[in-house]
Structure 1
Amino acid sequence: MSPTAIIAGEGVLPGLLCASLAGQDIVLAELEGFPASLPGKSAERFRIERLVPFLDRLRELGVGRICFAGAVRRPRLEPEMFDPRTAQLVPRLLAAMRSGDDAALRAVIGIFEEWGFEVVGAGDIAPDLVPGAGVLAGTVTDADARDADRAAEIVAALGAVDVGQGAVVAQGLCLAVEALPGTDAMLDFVAQTGAALRPDPKGARGVFYKAPKPGQDRRIDLPALGPETLRRAAKAGLAGIAWEASGALLLGREEMVAEAERLGLFLWAREP
């Protein structure tokens, strides 16, 4: 079997995928400036400005499939560093980037596929990271379910304009939405302001909901939830976390279930 290349960003996901591929040939690669933090594992480093030579290198190593894993931010491009072949891709990449994150990611996937690589999602390598429908921890009340329904509507609207993948709703009111600062910033905002925004102090505490954008290519940038997300949700005074079933990565499932039970929060993979 040909090697799998993990294009690794920050966070724990690259390590989880490497563990799932234990005993198989793996090529670890990382975008310069975004170290994968995998001790003892060397990585092929690359820059966007020299993307084509990097693709040639993956071919040279016999790579058959590619998986993008972990967080990266848009790097600052250095025009003088482009090699002639990569420079030919610039108009295409810039046009996609101006259309939003989803379009940019689709363009990247398309380029890798044109070089003959199969692009797969993290869930294809480690299916246990993407839970199907069901309540994994705690109890979901009718009020929680109504808040999750409302949050799902909001997230679908956000995703349609390529803004974010998450929202917090309590007692039918949207307390916050996820934008460029990310999930942690959103939950921290709710922790600071949410109590004042809830009309009934004794009513439903609220739900953080996460889902992919409508029409998103789920092989890349799938929403991810981890134990730290739970802890921030607890500080925000929420009742639990819900997400679209089979539409989010659960990073450390056993730890998250145990932490949810300790904190008294529910975890719910909600049927779309």
Structure 2
Amino acid sequence: MTRTALIAGQGGLPVRLAAALKASGEAHIIAEMEGFPSDIPGADPVRYRIERLAPFLDHLAREGVTRVVFAGALRRPQIDPELIDARTATLVPRLLGAFQKGDDWLLREVIAIFEDWDFTVVGVSDISPDLVPGAGVITGAPCDNDRRDAARAAEIVAGIGPLDIGQGAVVAQGLCIAVEALPGTDAMLAFVAEHAGRLRPDPNGARGVFYKAPKPGQDRRVDLPTLGPATVAAVAKAGLAGIVWEAGGVILIDREAMIAAAETAGLFLWAREP
């Protein structure tokens, strides 16, 4: 019998996955890192600390967990060395080495550790496929200029991906207006809202697109980029024509609300074939 552990961070995604697991009738438990409570209503979570990672994994195994899904935002916790138990101490060199190499390396190492305990790590699409849409225009109608801008943006995001800079870009009239960096999508779109009017060569030409995609080679079981109604509002404020993302590689939080907001703002939503 499959039993799933939802390792829940913060935000709307864990809430939706918990609802999907409940609706499916699948046996599951919810786990939360101490100090980072999820927003899952009625959750009775198992709480864990990084310093006690090995006992936490043992607990999951005793509870009959066979597969694990990670969802939601987490900040890097403060580690208290005095709390590290002997077995977790054997994992510390692996985790510290990954910490120093960046988030992608850390996530890969975390997956590897869970797999060492014989858990199958799955992605969001394995639990709730509707959250990760396949190719197609969901609403609106991108024009030829929009499609050219989307193709250029996809090239840019693929180029910056190996540098671990970000997962998004804004392109208008063939020019890169902004790329996503450490401050994130909201900061990038706020910059575009403030400056794009003077950066576009032709003020009457194509308004531009916001494009989002996973990093090349990214393990798609964890840390997929997400889009939601707030993204639609920020793109509308930035004066762009629409949102484009790599089909099968981006999570939509509250798709129906996104569609309604996009239609109200006159934007298109397009899951673009890679």
User: Does the TM-score normalized on the shorter chain lie above 0.5?
Assistant: yes
Read off the aligned partner of 2:14 and give its amino acid letter.
P
**Shift of the alpha carbon at 1:171?**
1.2
Q: Give the match for residue 245 of structure 1.
A: 247
Read off the aligned partner of 1:25 and give its amino acid letter.
A
- Tell me, in whole angstroms, the C-alpha distance in 2 between the residues paired with 1:226 and 1:157: 25
- Tell me, in whole angstroms, the C-alpha distance in 2 between the residues paired with 1:83 and 1:198: 57
Q: Give the match for residue 8 of structure 1.
A: 8
Q: CA RMSD in A?
A: 1.1
Determine which of 166, 169, 172 is the counterpart of 1:167: 169
Alignment of 1:213-224 (within 5 A): 213-224=215-226
- Tell me, in whole angstroms, the C-alpha distance in 2 between the residues paired with 1:243 and 1:25: 33
Q: Give the match for residue 30 of structure 1.
A: 32
SS in 2 for 1:261: helix
Farther-moved stretch of structure 1 (123-132 vs 68-77): 68-77
Structure 2: where are the runs of 5+ without partners? none
Read off the aligned partner of 1:49 and give its amino acid letter.
E
The answer as to 2:192 corresponding to 1:190 is yes
- Tell me, in whole angstroms, the C-alpha distance in 2 between the residues paired with 1:182 and 1:79: 31
Structure 1: where are the runs of 5+ without partners? none
Determine which of 131, 153, 160 is the counterpart of 1:129: 131
**Shift of the alpha carbon at 1:30?**
1.1
* Paired positions, count: 272
Determine which of 227, 230, 233 is the counterpart of 1:228: 230
Read off the aligned partner of 2:60 and give its amino acid letter.
L
Farther-moved stretch of structure 1 (236-245 vs 38-47): 38-47
Q: Give the match for residue 44 of structure 1.
A: 46
**Shift of the alpha carbon at 1:126?**
0.5
Q: Give the match for residue 62 of structure 1.
A: 64
Identical columns (%): 66
- Tell me, in whole angstroms, the C-alpha distance in 1 between the residues paired with 2:125 and 2:134: 11
- Tell me, in whole angstroms, the C-alpha distance in 2 between the residues paired with 1:185 and 1:158: 17
Read off the aligned partner of 2:110 and give its amino acid letter.
V
- Tell me, in whole angstroms, the C-alpha distance in 1 between the residues paired with 2:177 and 2:78: 33
- The answer to whether the 8 A contact 2:15-2:41 is kept is no
Query: With structure 2 as the length reference, what TM-score do the two structures score?
Result: 0.96
Read off the aligned partner of 2:18 and give its amino acid letter.
C
**Shift of the alpha carbon at 1:5?**
0.6
**Shift of the alpha carbon at 1:260?**
1.0
- Tell me, in whole angstroms, the C-alpha distance in 2 between the residues paired with 1:203 and 1:73: 41
**Shift of the alpha carbon at 1:168?**
0.9
Q: Give the match for residue 149 of structure 1.
A: 151
